[in-house]
Structure 1
């Protein structure tokens, strides 16, 4: 095994389960909500020599379905030893895939469900779909210490009918999945079940106006892949994949210079704004509660990806701790991206143009009704971009005339206002690990001495010296951005080399102060957090998000207010979209995008793409 960051193999997952079983940690009622690689500390990896031995370790979260007890185990596959066993505290392990059908079975066995359906004229209970949804933490009496899910119901007209068009609104069940019983069943309001179908996959007709677009690379791709290490143009990095985070990128460097040690989406929350008694609790952490990696799609050539594609399969542990393969989980390709640079000079007659291209590393996943694509782009000029593509189906409810918290999207059908908020964890190494961060924003200069005509403007720089100072919000009016620099590495102008984080500055979490979701998803309340690197600080909402209390994750990480100047820094960037659904988003939503860009600023001494050749035709340049 050439790298301690290499992804777990199927054989290693089998060995991990066997070790845990041999140590008496696995019984017939044990399930594996999570099993993944326990990455070594950053300093250890960076100091490692090729010949140094590797201690392959795993982290497993074990849940006993008989008792609800859960624990985290760190084990060494290399040494065949258990290094640590800790009880799970501060929340519950993530939702298991097998709990999805279990919740429907539990709810349908409750006589209150049958009575509620009967009052609404629903007689074929086999056509009722029960959605198992994370419960959050609302201090509801009797829920402390229990593993809870909540359930809303939808109706199908027949087995192939998309049930999201027919919410059975006003009814909600609270389910203890360990005791396998409904602890509370609420029938708040008898609202009409919307009748119109939303079967987007069976259109009445298809247009015949589109001519083929062919994307070809007759000489093959420009990148190489060796043991998950990708090299393309000046870029080099390692592909990773985790059951919780999905795609991870490791040790990104440009022309041999380190930029980012590890990049991932460490958490995301979908926060709904419907305060009704049926739905006030609707807030989902798709990474910490449902696991992005476990929800990943297998991608198809010609549908999900176009061009000269390299696919990576993902090998994960299932709920029984055994390996499962998601084929074509990650798509790698390069694509044209328009003009890189161009100039026609009026004095020399020179006409030069170069085309930009980018490397795309992506994966797509489905969590319940929504689908998300995460696209990392690497550019010829050293820029790094993340674009998130949200699509899928709106979470629906019955339309109530005069309602202020949901949009009317179809006859009798509504969809609540909500937010999709993500948190990128960017473990920075800009020319090394001794980095600093500062806030840059524009500054108007008043008319006066030195600015007689009022045309001047400049920018101001505010160093973010401690963790508490680095909790910041984007501001599009001031063009606020954050520069990560290395004061110990200077460019030819004598300035620290750096990268700038350019946010898209949409609203952060909109829930009120004191709301349960604001305490649990504190990371989403601000666009920027910066911490000193700590290998145990991995997730912005904490290790165990399911039914978690407030204050975990980033608020706890920055409590010590550690210094940030010339330190090993982790930049946490929260971003996302606020969704006021449109009729055009039904019955399936066109892709909506959000994201951010990291751009070099003084990292290079000049434009690093002057050596990019013209695009194979003499018309692209003049001698």
Structure 2
């Protein structure tokens, strides 16, 4: 039986820690302060409001009872002019302490508002060229569903400095129909969000409209529910093993704080094991979904779901027994809506424990010892829906000191017309294609392995040449390469060499004199496959390498830069590492690119089974021995009954 308890992830009174998320009261105060400074008007909207985290030194030296300076980072957009603003608001002092205008032409725009999407279909209905394109296809324009998407940057001079989206369309036969199954391919509209009108319609080709319905509970897909699956009940009769105090969680030897904002979603802070720090801050800081269709109406499809859309605002309200099983604790999250008012997202974050099979086991031939221990992991997660795709992000902590991040991709593939076997899509249903694409994520890991003085080594498995020291040719060893500067630390994975990256503390050793560390284990899937000279390779440069290492700078938060929407490129990590700072025995940030390369299958239709991507961090010489020796044996009745 699953049970759940709900708690707010935001503070309801005076914050007790510098990393406590903003409360509804503080969000109201932010809006009031911005208004009092004359920065609001009828057409001004709040794009982003989140806690402006104090410098890590302030957080690390904080003691209970110390005064807390509360600040918020705010992005504004004047919809009438397209001008964005970036400001820092001191809730404590009741004033704006920093303000800059966003130079959209040079640096990109602030993210797209939901309110900017709302009138797109009306703009299309006012466009004669669009109506002509629909009529020629025999479609009723009133039944056409518009899907506005971020535009990217492709050298179109008439788009420089303007807020542009490009619109693909789908047909909806009735209210129950899923339009994703009926792409109106061969035509695209460009919309100026500030001018509130269609600026261009490209009508490349008329392609047949796929007509088979896409609801999984309707013909031809509907199937009677199975009757041969018996219930699985997850029970913890003594309750969960974790404890929660505000936004701090303790479980086994682990302790951490968590936060949430609409750009990064769930964030982890001050992650430690056995009172020893491992990571100061961990988040998924960006993701990009580049598509492979080069046609005139689709070549531009590349979405940065965080930097362009702020995917955290689309977080699901999780359901007991469906999204999470067991003894569950849910956390509500308060964000700011586009008018600057607090908005409560119920059950946004899920916390629970899972059994994870065998932790360790041995049956000995000499002394007869036979021991086995069960593994379990702590899970903190959230799920979101952004357009057609659904993504879950799950952080796992294990009893042996392992940290894992798992991204889960599901939902509905973005469809097109299928142009034949030599094209760039898979046929999913008669005449229905799903273009090839990638899902590439960037994890920002502000490492603190036993302290802030860290270094990185690349470790490869290499064969030893045959010779006097290896006469039989069986020898191999780890080859270690120290990465000492940012220019050296732009690396790709190599599964043929079992490549991992050790993040070590050169000032700390275990009982054997070995330098303590944690190893980043990549999955080694492809990085960005687009041509290096392409627009997307410039704008998503972070996705061209599996590993980047930078010296800590609190202003360097996002791998594709602060303003991703229509940014011309080379922002974020390329700009950070251009400084070529010393990273050997420094306070460092590790950035890891991971993801999926998706050649869709018919089995991904009409709804896609979950696909997985992620990475692990494993202790290497961090402990003196197996840290899970103290896990008790399971009661015999639980594992030995026949």
Residue 291 (1) aligns with residue 307 (2): no
Residue 161 (1) aligns with residue 177 (2): yes
Question: How far is 1:51 from its partner?
Answer: 2.9
CA deviations on 1:62-120 (whole Å, 9 max, x unpaired) are 10011111110101000111111011130111111112222222122211111111101
Q: Following superposition of structure 1 onto structure 2, how do residues 496-507 of structure 1 map, counting pairs within 5 Å?
A: 496-507=515-526
- Tell me if the contact between 2:217 and 2:223 (Cα under 8 Å) persists in the aligned partners: no
Match of 1:64 in 2: 78
Residue 28 (1) aligns with residue 28 (2): no
Residue 81 (1) aligns with residue 100 (2): no
Question: How far is 1:46 from its partner?
Answer: 1.2
Q: 1:63 to 1:395 in 2, by over 3 A?
A: same
Match of 1:54 in 2: 68
Q: Following superposition of structure 1 onto structure 2, how do residues 260-271 of structure 1 map, counting pairs within 5 Å?
A: 260-271=279-290
- Tell me if the contact between 2:458 and 2:499 (Cα under 8 Å) persists in the aligned partners: yes
Instruction: Determine which of 316, 322, 341 is the counterpart of 2:341.
Output: 322
Q: What TM-score, normalized by structure 1, do the two folds share?
A: 0.98
Q: Distance between the aligned counterparts of 1:569 and 1:386, measured in 2?
A: 20
Question: How far is 1:620 from its partner?
Answer: 6.7
CA deviations on 1:359-389 (whole Å, 9 max, x unpaired) are 0011001111110000100000110000110
Q: Distance between the aligned counterparts of 1:308 and 1:104, measured in 2?
A: 44
Q: Distance between the aligned counterparts of 2:226 and 2:639, measured in 1?
A: 37
Q: Distance between the aligned counterparts of 1:348 and 1:307, measured in 2?
A: 39
Secondary structure of the structure 2 residue equivalent to 1:31: strand
Match of 2:251 in 1: 232
Instruction: Determine which of 159, 181, 185 is the counterpart of 1:143.
Output: 159
Q: Distance between the aligned counterparts of 1:619 and 1:311, measured in 2?
A: 28
Q: 1:348 to 1:288 in 2, by over 3 A?
A: same
Residue 600 (1) aligns with residue 619 (2): yes
Q: Distance between the aligned counterparts of 2:143 and 2:286, measured in 1?
A: 34
- Tell me if the contact between 1:344 and 1:350 (Cα under 8 Å) persists in the aligned partners: yes
Match of 2:58 in 1: 44
- Tell me if the contact between 1:156 and 1:166 (Cα under 8 Å) persists in the aligned partners: yes
Instruction: Determine which of 441, 460, 467 is the counterpart of 1:441.
Output: 460
Q: Distance between the aligned counterparts of 1:585 and 1:198, measured in 2?
A: 12
Q: 1:538 to 1:485 in 2, by over 3 A?
A: same
Question: Which aligned segments of 4 or more residues in structure 1 are displaced greater than 3 angstroms?
Answer: 618-621
Q: Distance between the aligned counterparts of 1:230 and 1:46, measured in 2?
A: 17
Secondary structure of the structure 1 residue equivalent to 2:225: coil
Match of 2:278 in 1: 259
Q: Following superposition of structure 1 onto structure 2, how do residues 152-301 of structure 1 map, counting pairs within 5 Å?
A: 152-202=168-218, 203-301=222-320
Q: Distance between the aligned counterparts of 1:201 and 1:242, measured in 2?
A: 35
Gaps of 5+ in 1: none
CA deviations on 1:323-348 (whole Å, 9 max, x unpaired) are 11110000000010000000111111
Residue 529 (1) aligns with residue 543 (2): no
Match of 2:409 in 1: 390
- Tell me if the contact between 1:104 and 1:132 (Cα under 8 Å) persists in the aligned partners: no
Match of 1:465 in 2: 484
- Tell me if the contact between 2:18 and 2:70 (Cα under 8 Å) persists in the aligned partners: yes
513-522 vs 99-108, which moves further: 99-108
CA deviations on 1:415-445 (whole Å, 9 max, x unpaired) are 1110000000000000000000010001101
Secondary structure of the structure 1 residue equivalent to 2:293: coil
- Tell me if the contact between 1:127 and 1:159 (Cα under 8 Å) persists in the aligned partners: no
- Tell me if the contact between 1:389 and 1:591 (Cα under 8 Å) persists in the aligned partners: yes
Q: Following superposition of structure 1 onto structure 2, how do residues 506-517 of structure 1 map, counting pairs within 5 Å?
A: 506-517=525-536
- Tell me if the contact between 2:455 and 2:585 (Cα under 8 Å) persists in the aligned partners: yes
Question: How far is 1:446 from its partner?
Answer: 1.7
Query: Over the residues paired in the alignment, what is the CA RMSD in angstroms?
Result: 1.1
Q: Distance between the aligned counterparts of 2:56 and 2:122, measured in 1?
A: 45
Alignment size in residue pairs: 620
- Tell me if the contact between 1:352 and 1:620 (Cα under 8 Å) persists in the aligned partners: no
Secondary structure of the structure 2 residue equivalent to 1:513: coil
Gaps of 5+ in 2: 1-14
Match of 2:124 in 1: 107
Question: How far is 1:314 from its partner?
Answer: 1.1
330-339 vs 112-121, which moves further: 112-121
Q: Distance between the aligned counterparts of 2:388 and 2:279, measured in 1?
A: 33
CA deviations on 1:31-80 (whole Å, 9 max, x unpaired) are 11111110011122112232321110001101001111111010100011
Q: Distance between the aligned counterparts of 1:464 and 1:509, measured in 2?
A: 23
Secondary structure of the structure 1 residue equivalent to 2:577: helix
